Structure 1
Amino acid sequence: MSSRFLQTAIILGLLSAIGPFAIDMYLPALPTIGADLAAETSAVQMSLLAFFISMALSQLFYGPLSDMLGRKAPLYGGLILFAIGSIGSALAGDIDTLVAFRFLQGIGASAGMVISRAIVRDLHTGVDAARLMSLLMLVFSISPILAPLTGTAIITFFGWRGVFWAVLLAALVGMVLLATSLKETRPPAMRVESSLGAALAAYRLLLKDGNFLALTFIGGLGLSSFLVYLANSSFVLIDHYGLTPAQYSIAFSINAVSFFSVSQLSGWLAGRYGLKHVVRMAVGGYAAAMTLLLVAMILGFQSLPVMAAFLFVGYGFLGLVLPTTGVLALEDHGAIAGTASALMGTLQFVAAAIAMGIAGVFFDGTALPMVGGIAACAIAALLLTQLSLGRRRGRTQTEIPAEVPAE
């Protein structure tokens, strides 16, 4: 693996992780924010939901812009908006102001997420793309490990507002890396045919592509299940199970370790068995783990160790689902990679926002509604996988394993 390959993965991972870092760092403070701003739990969760909604919808604009203007200019714009949103959130005096600036933050954060995937497609396809995407996910997944722990430390010494000053610094670092260490991957010659009309035509084409939509929603349902956990876990683990914010940060980080550790196998597994086979296996394992967890909790096994064990196993499988479905969805759309990545991200985050909203309606302070939402998403992903990626006669190129050299 070349140093350039690794450097690209690190930079793209950092740019795409800035937004999630802004979420994960302040999760331990959600109950505190509610008390400080005299806001109910539903209002505090709205600051999280607003972030996701804006991050989902704004991707539709960043994708075509990155095809028309190149990848770097929209990235700069997104980081600037994210920085403004961070400053406003840090200075917010009431929950409505916080929600408004979190919405702006989400608009900025989406640039790194959608354009990073497009850059991966600019540079590689197939197994190489899966390897780069898995490395990007490795950096991206450090956020759920370090962010809650870092957030807890910052909150302890500086209060919850300190979290937003910290992510402002992360955005500034991202600008420096973008300026000094990342080359433009969509040169002017490739932008000639890109326009607003072409983007609309591309969206129509993608919305008629059943394979693209199936892979997008398989990954989206996996993402939805994780975000249901993310939106509810601090209230469940801190208020229901009695963990301290520091203990919650550790518990949250353990799942991230499982996710990113297993995700590093995606390139090797794809080379040996084919990307579609990996997706089928990973979704099946994830659905099995989450369904068993739901059954165990319904039967009365609701202790924290039981839930933590099943989540650890399940999120390991999820670490294979997200990078492989992303690579497969973009495989045939290199000429419109930015637009395709944008639509994929938007559809996934809209699905996640809906799932979070539904789970929030049933939230009663216990773990069961959260686990039910996670399991429902996992089962839906399995059904969609079986309908769209079931074994057929003959295999596409992405299903044919690469030759594995003898040891």
Structure 2
Amino acid sequence: MKNRTTLIVTCTTVFLAQLGMSIYLPALPDMARDLGDDASRVSWGLPVYLIGMALPMLAWGSLSQGLGRKPVLLAALALYGLANLALPLGTGVEAFLAFRLIQGIGASGISVMARVLIRDSFSGNLLAKSLAWLSIAFVIALGIGQYLGSLIQAAFGWAAIFQGLGAASLVMAAAVSRARFPRLTEEKNGQPAWRVYGQILKHPGFLLPALAGGLGYGVIIAFNTAAPLILRDSFHWSAIEYGLLGWPISAAYLLGALVVNACVLRIGQRRLMGWGIALVLGGSATMLAASLSLGSVAVLFWLPYCFAVFGQSLNYPISLSLANEGSPIPGAYAMALSGFLHQWMASLIGAMASLLLSEQAWPLAALCTLLAMAAMLCARSLPPQPRQALQEKP
């Protein structure tokens, strides 16, 4: 029962945190108009949010070791909710970006604690299966949240997007305060946190799968950063049309997460991860070739991306599981460090995508292809997997 409660709580909180990435994207042109600034500057809201997620991740992990999981999760939810409520109060792009940074810091704690709570309850292939449920929550937020944002923006304006998200986060905090999570059984580590993180980071069994997952994640971040303006300026899409794109994206990620959940015990983590990265590379390369040869056909821009999203949905939960198993030190540290790496990679990739903003699609497609190639190199360099029992913790 506690494991089921953990899954419900973690999936719901991850859903809320990831909505902060995607739900406002269809309203980006209107936000730029109301804030009196260029859309390219407002588009920095996503990289700034990711920087906010990356900055405190190691601190959230250390706090959870000392203070416990629930108090840290409650603090993160409260910070995230209040930042969302405050965000529409800003009168310029500088205030918008400042609140996005605070919003990201709260989302950082939510993301870390969700993974740590899953890690506390499961291990081995069951850990990969459970992390796939987090991927399902991620994709629902990524796609359906994008469509939901377009509807809210059309009906009530973009401010209502953040107000609704803030209220939902505070309600979730109230629910978490009544939940019970598994008790910790791990021994305390007497080393300073920075030394623990350093030891984990040096270990190839942790670093390589973490990098593979982060590079694939970067493909999604790059697309989310640049695609709204490309589809508006190059393909003349409206906010509602861009919101509708969330449905095939959601279907692709959901299908991949379900494949991991259903097949990882039979096929194995590494094989599924390799298939996933190959799909990310194939989709990105197809998107690049199509944008160079048939740049005016929108379906040849977004459909290959859906195949890349499907591949990343195979890659990401397995990369987290393998990185956790490959860590030389148990506890919350490995999950916090992998999240830290992923968010810093995502923020840098998002910044690169912002700098590459163009009406043409090929610069974005080229960046996605390079990221997928790097992920493939990391996956092929993984050290041999040790033999171990793959079962759920008692």
Q: Which runs of 5+ in 2 are unaligned?
A: none
2:364 matched to which residue of 1?
A: 370
Q: 1:35 aligns with which of 18, 33, 42?
A: 33
Q: Quick check: 1:152–1:246 contact (8 Å CA) kept in 2? A: yes
1:387 CA drift (Å): 2.3
Q: What is the TM-score normalised by the length of structure 2?
A: 0.93
After TM superposition, the score normalised by the length of structure 1 is: 0.90
* Residues in 2 aligned to 1:194 and 1:76: alpha-carbon distance in whole angstroms: 24
> Is residue 130–residue 324 contact of structure 1 (8 Å, CA) maintained in 2?
yes
**Root-mean-square deviation (Å):** 2.1
Gaps of 5+ in 1: 403-407
Q: In the alignment, residue 259 of structure 2 is paired with which amino acid? A: L
Q: Report which stretch shifted further, 208-217 or 306-315.
A: 306-315
Determine the structure 1 residue equivalent to 2:299: 305
Show CA shifts across 1:292-337 (max 9, x none).
2212222235411112221122211111000110111112449643
CA spacing shift, 1:141–1:97, aligned 2, 3 Å: same
Matches within 5 A, 1:58-73: 58-73=56-71
- Partner letter of residue 249 of structure 1? G
Q: 1:355 aligns with which of 349, 360, 363?
A: 349
Matches within 5 A, 1:131-210: 131-181=129-179, 183-187=180-184, 190=186, 193-194=188-189, 197-210=191-204
- Cα shift at 1:199: 1.5
Letter of the 1:96 counterpart: E
Deviation at 1:168, TM superposition (A): 0.7
Asked if structure 1 preserves the Cα contact closer than 8 Å seen for 2:143 and 2:250, the reply is yes
Alpha-carbon distance between aligned partners in 2 of 1:336 and 1:154, rounded to the nearest angstrom: 43
Q: What fraction of aligned residue pairs are identical, expressed as a percent?
A: 24
Q: Conserved in 1, the CA contact under 8 Å of 2:58 and 2:340?
A: yes
Aligned to 1:396: 386
Match of 1:260 in 2: 254
Q: Which residue of 2 aligns with 1:382?
A: 376
1:250 to 231, 238, 244: 244
CA distance in 2, matches of 1:233, 1:301: 14
Give the Cα–Cα distance (whole angstroms) in 2 for the partners of residues 359 and 8 of structure 1.
35
Deviation digits for residues 78-130 of structure 1, max 9, x if unmatched?
Answer: 11111221122021111111111111111111111111111111111111111
Give aligned pairs, total.
391
Deviation, 1:8, is: 3.0
| Contact in 1 for aligned 2:22/2:146 (Cα 8 Å) | yes
Write the letter of the residue equivalent to 1:291: A
1:59 and 1:110 in contact (8 A); partners too? yes
Letter in 2 for 1:396: P
Residues 122 and 185 of structure 1 are in contact (CA less than 8 Å); yes or no, is this contact kept in structure 2? Answer: yes
**Could you tell me how far apart the structure 1 residues matched to 2:94 and 2:350 are?**
20
User: Following superposition, which runs of at least 4 residues in structure 1 exceed 6 angstroms of deviation?
Assistant: none
**Alpha-carbon distance between aligned partners in 2 of 1:210 and 1:176, rounded to the nearest angstrom:** 40
CA offset digits 1:258-281 (Å, max 9, x no partner)? 012121111333211221121122
Give 3-state SS (helix, strand or coil) of 1:388's partner.
coil
Mapped to 2, the partners of 1:292 and 1:353 lie a distance apart of: 25
Please say if 1:283 is aligned against 2:283: no
Change (3 A) 1:116 1:334: farther
Amino acid of the structure 1 residue aligned with 2:102: L
Alpha-carbon distance change, 305 to 290 in structure 1, aligned in 2, over 3 angstroms: same
**C-alpha offsets along residues 201-249 of structure 1, whole Å, 9 cap, x if unaligned?**
2111111111211111100001111000111121112232111211111
Contact 2:2 / 2:182 at 8 angstroms: preserved in 1?
no
The answer for the alignment partner of 2:17 in structure 1 is 19
Assess, with a 3 A threshold, how the Cα gap between structure 1 residues 4 and 65 changes in structure 2: closer, same or farther: closer
The equivalent residue for 2:8 is 10
